[in-house]
Amino acid sequence: MIHLQFEAKLQEEIDNREHINEMLAVPNKREYKFPAYVKDEIREKQKYCCATCGKHDSQVGTLQVHHVLPTYIAYNFFPQISLEALKSIENAVGLCSDCHTNTHDAIDELFEELEDSDIDYLHETMREQFAFISQALLGMQV
């Protein structure tokens, strides 16, 4: 009996980890790319400076435009947000390559911390972490 309970719990953990790994992948990533005019507008709006560290792109290279609400999180946790909203200037921020990498690393760390959590807790946490931007993007779709 105990052996069967252990096997069931182990299988649940394996399924949970596979589900989380699947969440980090987004089909057709190209669909989520920002249009050139959004990238240009963000860079101009920020005066070609990184939104995190403030360095000018003459020091760090061309600013990368980051999705404030990452596409893989939107795809898995906020499917009601339109593709147009995800690619809008409201969901964009210009970052230098170091800050862009650090931002993605922080999100990945959050997923790692939660990988042993149940799926309901993971969904709740993602909704809390990205509540402000997701509500703003949903408001665009009226």
pLDDT in tens, the chain (142 residues): 444 554 555 455 545 555 555 555 555 667 788 999 999 999 999 999 999 999 999 999 999 999 998 888 888 788 888 889 999 999 999 999 999 999 988 888 887 777 667 767 777 887 888 887 888 777 765 3
Interatomic CA distance for residues 64 and 118, integer angstroms:
34
* Of residues 76, 48, 45, 63, the one with CA closest to residue 103: 63
Interatomic CA distance for residues 5 and 1, integer angstroms:
6
Burial of 58 per CB tally in 10 Å (0-12, 13-18, 19+): exposed
Backbone angles phi, psi at 65, to 5 degrees: -95, 120
| Residue 10 pLDDT | 47
Diameter of the chain measured on Cα atoms: 66
| Residue 28 pLDDT | 66
The residue range of the domain holding 111 is 2-139
Q: Amino acid letter at 58? A: S
| Residue 6 pLDDT | 46
Q: Amino acid letter at 126? A: M
Residues linked to residue 66 through DSSP beta bridges, in sequence order: 93
Q: Please state at what angle helix 131-139 crosses helix 119-129, rounded to 10 degrees.
A: 70
For residue 126, the tally of other CB atoms under 10 A from its CB is: 21
| Residue 63 pLDDT | 94
Q: Considering its fold, how many domains does the chain have in total? A: 1
